[in-house]
Structure 1
Amino acid sequence: MNITQEKIDDLNAVVKIKISPEDYTEKVDKSIKEQAKKSNLPGFRKGMVPAAHIKKMYGKSILIETINTLLSENLNKFLTDSKVEILGQPVPVMDDSKDFKWDGADEFEFDYEIGLAPAVDITITSKDKFVQYNVKADEETLASRIKNIRRSYGKMSNPEVSADEDVLYAELAQLSPDGSVFEGGINSTGSIRLDLVKDKAILKSLTGRKKDDVFELDVQKAFDNNETVIAKLLNIGEEEAKDLKSNFQVTVKNVNRLEEADLNQEFFDKIFGEGVVTDEAGFTAKITEEIEGMFKQDADRKLQNDMYTQLTESVKMDLPDEFLRKWLKATNEKLSDAELAEGYDDFAKNLKWTLIENKIIKDNSLEIKYEDVFATAKQRLDAQFKMYSPAPLPEEQLAEYTATFLQEKDNANRIFEEVKAIKVFEYIQSVATLDQKDIAYNKFIEMN
């Protein structure tokens, strides 16, 4: 077998593989004999089918399978041994002029296009500057969070008329275009949360409502076409909610109001534990600390995104774009030309970042250890479990779940890539200059 590489330019090459009968004859004969031992054909005892008969019936398919195996194994070995850094995977060159007989005497030649990884020139120094935002709780955000917490621990009351943050517990009946109740249509009993109503005119019409009031409601307009909210209200699927055009007749059964809990010691102890907080100032400080901790995660994502954007734009490298488009089409049969054109720039940008990551890891000997992958996977699973139950899982049980989770190749690869990104971002932060900047949360949100 003869394998050679012909370089077309700095980013493209062709690998040529020549296979002669001596490369495959012995393997084909062995496969035929094994097939003969396993075959159960009419007129022959099981395992006693002559090899010549198997060759006549299945020789061509066995030969094709053998050639494909040889190509796969030797192409990958050649690229590995030659230390050729490629992008994507080799793409076979279609050549209609080659007419193989597949008779066991052919000399085969197959060509594969490959895209070569470009050289990446990047060194992070203190001259690389990024802004690290310290996001602070603005008065509106803090007040909203405090209000939600107080309502969560508050008491339910039933006022005579509704205000703009109350809940109308009501029956809803789908209407026909003529305004009559649609027979066989959607009928549901649900809670209309006024704090979720986006249309100001509709919100105004829903305040001042009382028990037994009947009125018409455009749910799509009221909730700004939010299929999640509408689906929950009407007890239907989100797809059905998304396409829903009808108005609804609403019959109010009750007005519910969640009164805010008093800021007293009983309330503080329920939230933080006995004696941890003793006054309103301490309560406010604790809530501020809590939400600014959540803001830090948003700020970290912003910093990482800024690093990604700045470095992918500043590090100049060319990609074998024509080859990559061809490879994407070859490996995604359902990918249309329009979809490829629309998504290619983002794909190329992400690929550039991967090359930058790999260069930083290699040049700075950054290690990605299994214990890091395990710890990250464990954190992610722990967070998922806490969404369903605040009680923490026993450490031993969580570790068992994590080990099982990482046995799935896709899960392990995803967490590995996450840890890899974390290592690279941590390295950049340790070397680059980070300009600290305080910013209110409402102003921070406007930047994103």
Structure 2
Amino acid sequence: MATVTKENIGLLNEKLTVKLSKEDYFPSFEKKLKEYSKQANIPGFRKGMVPVGMVKKMYGSSLYADEVLRTAEKELYNYISNEKPDIFAHPLALTADIHKLDLNNPSEYEFGFEIGLKPSFEIAPLSKANLTFHKVKVTDEMVQDEINRMQIKGGNMTEPEVIDNDENVVNVLFTESDASGNVIEGGITKENSLLLKYFSPALKAQLMGKKKDDTVVFQLAQSFEGDKLEMILQDLGFAKDDTAAAQKYFKLAITKVGLVEKRALDETFFNEVFPGAAVATEDEFRNKLREEIQQYWDSQSRNQLHDQIYHFLLDETKMEFPEAFLKRWLQNGGEKPKTADEAEAEFPLFSSQLKWTLISDKLVKDNNLEVTQQELRDFLKQEVTRYMGNMNLGDDTSWLDSYVDRMMQDEKQIDGSYRRLITEKLFNWAQSQTTPKEDEITPEGLAAIQHHHHH
């Protein structure tokens, strides 16, 4: 009768030894031989009439080895199913000499498997987390910038006679030249479209009053500043920090002058931006826009707070791992084997992700967090309507329910949606357990924090 014994071989690391007697695997091997003899196609014999002895002689060794190994694996997973050790991934088979599997001398065999056990741990108390809610306060300038952007986006492009406005869009042809404007043979020629305000004050002054087909000669370094110079250098095919290229001269020919005629701030415009909100005056429009901008930045601030929570839980929750086992699993447990050096290099990120998985799973389980079918449906419906944008969905939206029904049958779609929703619930719950202090910050300051500290 098969037996499985357990032996500790390290921290959270055990060896399971499966011991088989002849009676455990030989009857099923003989059954497999008979089944194979009925299916085998061997020249000179009708199908189903191949003698068992012939099959045994030709295929017996491989069928025998397969059956012994299959039986060992079956006994291993029966043990795991009954004993329920809390293991990582799946067992790793220890090296076995399958050449000892002798069909002509059936005997007892032993196979070793290695398992890694999940640690027991206590999650760091969120009440002790020192957190800050970095709040962006929406200013009148931010509201006005957004209004300008929307007015331009919805405006009409006009073609004035001359350049007279920082907001002029100037279509130009760059042609490499000398300081006197003499074109360099084989030099760079490039078309571009730029806002006048991108140019340096000196070149803007030169361009004021110019019209289509007029030309000016300029030096790159004297005509663009900061990131605008880097952008132009790259557009002309140079590296953004090429100081020699920045000294080159170009003749600039104006091919077209444009200006966006901004949308008027009237009720028609207000209703396009906020359909159904009954926004009638400019003051109501500005207040509504301010609320939306504030909601956006508050959501960004919450995301950053959640990032702080993530790092607090990860850094302050103490947990041990069976490192040696996990590194071997990294080497051999995937589809493509890795070298020991590759596994070593990947382990820090892998162990961090593994630690977070254990923490988040425990928080979800201990606090009975769940996602209902209705919540999944509502989420998918919101995703579809968001994708459709401002399109008029019509009065009959029964097609939307049918579409969501089909999406609910897609396991990959459901899994991804579930993960997003349960993660959101987890962090909202975690936030409710904390008392962060609040400070005021600029959008640029918040963006910098997000850039330098994000999981």
TM range (shorter): 0.7 to 0.9
What does the per-residue CA deviation read over 1:210-237, in whole Å, with 9 as the maximum and x for residues that have no partner?
545699999xx969579xx97xx99xxx
* C-alpha displacement of 1:336: 5.7
In structure 1, the partner of 2:358 is 355
In structure 2, the partner of 1:116 is 117
C-alpha change, 1:192 and 1:109, in structure 2 (3 Å) is: farther
In structure 2, the partner of 1:180 is 186
Bigger mean CA deviation after superposition, 264-273 or 369-378: 369-378
In structure 1, the partner of 2:143 is 142
User: Is 1:295 aligned with 2:297?
Assistant: yes
Aligned residue identity for 1:428: A
Q: Which has the larger radius of gyration?
A: 2
In structure 2, the partner of 1:258 is 260
Question: Does the aligned pair in 1 maintain the 2:130–2:436 contact within 8 Å?
Answer: yes
Aligned residue identity for 1:291: I
Question: Does the aligned pair in 1 maintain the 2:220–2:229 contact within 8 Å?
Answer: no
Q: Secondary structure at the match of 1:86?
A: coil
Q: Secondary structure at the match of 1:89?
A: coil
In structure 1, stretches of 5+ residues that fail to align are: 235-240
Alignment equivalent of 1:316, drawn from 305, 314, 318: 318
What does the per-residue CA deviation read over 1:75-121, in whole Å, with 9 as the maximum and x for residues that have no partner?
3342232221122332222256x742352725332222222111111
In structure 1, the partner of 2:443 is 441
Looking at structure 1, the residues matched to 134 and 171 of structure 2 have their Cα atoms a distance apart, in angstroms, of 43
In structure 2, the partner of 1:15 is 16
Aligned residue identity for 2:269: F
Aligned residue identity for 1:180: G
Q: Secondary structure at the match of 1:281?
A: helix
Q: Secondary structure at the match of 2:279?
A: coil
Question: Does the aligned pair in 2 maintain the 1:37–1:47 contact within 8 Å?
Answer: yes
What does the per-residue CA deviation read over 1:124-156, in whole Å, with 9 as the maximum and x for residues that have no partner?
464445334443324554333221111112111
Question: Does the aligned pair in 1 maintain the 2:331–2:338 contact within 8 Å?
Answer: yes
Q: Secondary structure at the match of 1:5?
A: strand
Question: Does the aligned pair in 1 maintain the 2:124–2:313 contact within 8 Å?
Answer: no
Aligned residue identity for 1:357: S
Q: Secondary structure at the match of 1:8?
A: strand
Question: Does the aligned pair in 1 maintain the 2:129–2:312 contact within 8 Å?
Answer: no
Aligned length: 423
In structure 2, the partner of 1:346 is 349
What does the per-residue CA deviation read over 1:404-443, in whole Å, with 9 as the maximum and x for residues that have no partner?
4454444433333333323322322333334454544333
Question: Does the aligned pair in 2 maintain the 1:120–1:355 contact within 8 Å?
Answer: no
Looking at structure 1, the residues matched to 326 and 166 of structure 2 have their Cα atoms a distance apart, in angstroms, of 55
What does the per-residue CA deviation read over 1:137-178, in whole Å, with 9 as the maximum and x for residues that have no partner?
24554333221111112111123348665545568999xxx9
In structure 1, the partner of 2:386 is 383
Aligned residue identity for 2:349: D
Q: Secondary structure at the match of 1:118?
A: coil
Q: Secondary structure at the match of 1:137?
A: coil
In structure 1, the partner of 2:309 is 307
- Superposition TM-score, scaled by structure 2 size: 0.75
Question: Does the aligned pair in 2 maintain the 1:138–1:440 contact within 8 Å?
Answer: no
Aligned residue identity for 2:271: D
Question: Does the aligned pair in 2 maintain the 1:194–1:203 contact within 8 Å?
Answer: no
Aligned residue runs from structure 1 range 175-324, under 5 A: 180=186, 192-194=193-195, 211-212=212-213, 253-273=255-275, 276-324=278-326
Looking at structure 2, the residues matched to 318 and 303 of structure 1 have their Cα atoms a distance apart, in angstroms, of 27
Q: Secondary structure at the match of 2:88?
A: strand
* Identity rate, percent: 28
Bigger mean CA deviation after superposition, 281-290 or 105-114: 105-114
Looking at structure 1, the residues matched to 61 and 202 of structure 2 have their Cα atoms a distance apart, in angstroms, of 74
User: Is 1:330 aligned with 2:336?
Assistant: no
Looking at structure 1, the residues matched to 206 and 384 of structure 2 have their Cα atoms a distance apart, in angstroms, of 42
Aligned residue identity for 1:16: T
- Superposition TM-score, scaled by structure 1 size: 0.76
Bigger mean CA deviation after superposition, 316-325 or 246-255: 246-255
Question: Does the aligned pair in 2 maintain the 1:12–1:116 contact within 8 Å?
Answer: yes
Looking at structure 2, the residues matched to 196 and 55 of structure 1 have their Cα atoms a distance apart, in angstroms, of 87
Aligned residue identity for 1:350: Q
Q: Secondary structure at the match of 1:111?
A: strand
In structure 2, the partner of 1:238 is none
Alignment equivalent of 1:421, drawn from 420, 423, 427: 423
* C-alpha displacement of 1:318: 1.4
What does the per-residue CA deviation read over 1:385-410, in whole Å, with 9 as the maximum and x for residues that have no partner?
44xx7445975444444444454444
Looking at structure 2, the residues matched to 163 and 50 of structure 1 have their Cα atoms a distance apart, in angstroms, of 97
Aligned residue identity for 1:46: K
Q: Secondary structure at the match of 1:433?
A: coil
Aligned residue identity for 1:429: Q
Q: Secondary structure at the match of 1:146?
A: helix
* C-alpha displacement of 1:308: 0.7
Aligned residue runs from structure 1 range 57-206, under 5 A: 57-95=58-96, 99-103=99-103, 105-122=106-123, 124=125, 126-128=127-129, 130-159=131-160, 160-161=162-163, 165-169=167-171, 180=186, 192-194=193-195
Question: Does the aligned pair in 2 maintain the 1:171–1:188 contact within 8 Å?
Answer: yes
Question: Does the aligned pair in 2 maintain the 1:124–1:432 contact within 8 Å?
Answer: no
